[in-house]
């Protein structure tokens, strides 16, 4: 499964992950780790080794894909997206006089 598909899956499955990149990464890494090791026996060294060898998706990649999906698809946006982009941006534009003229 490609990274974009993984991110989309988790954003659809758990809405709270739309606002939390750390938890989104943890869920994706948990699934990826299952391909390589027994989760009951694996330790932090196993995680670090797999991550450093490029076997796990890097966190910045997951974050970039999540941001891209949210910018293109409103259904993947969380509350923080609207706070940051929606409501505040409109207020800021109005205060600066950038309101669209009719």
User: Considering the entire predicted model, what is its pTM?
Assistant: 0.76
Q: For residues 14 and 55, give the distance between their C-alpha atoms in angstroms, rounded to a whole number.
A: 24
Burial of 72 (0-12, 13-18, 19+ CB in 10 A): exposed
By CB atoms closer than 10 A (0-12, 13-18, 19+), residue 76 is: buried
Q: pLDDT digit string (tens) for 75-91?
A: 998 888 767 666 666 67
Q: What is the pLDDT of residues 27-84, one digit of tens each?
A: 999 999 999 988 888 789 999 999 999 999 999 999 999 999 998 998 998 888 767 6
């Amino acid at each position: 499964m490609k990274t974009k598909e993984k991110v989309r899956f988790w954003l659809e499955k758990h809405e709270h992950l739309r606002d939390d990149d750390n938890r989104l990464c943890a869920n994706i890494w948990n699934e990826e780790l299952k391909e390589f090791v027994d989760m009951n026996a694996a330790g932090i060294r196993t995680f670090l080794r797999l991550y450093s060898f490029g076997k796990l998706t890097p966190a910045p990649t997951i974050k970039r894909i999540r941001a891209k999906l949210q910018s293109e698809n409103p259904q993947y946006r969380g509350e923080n997206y609207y706070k940051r982009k929606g409501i505040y941006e409109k207020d800021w534009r109005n205060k600066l006089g950038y309101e669209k003229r009719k």
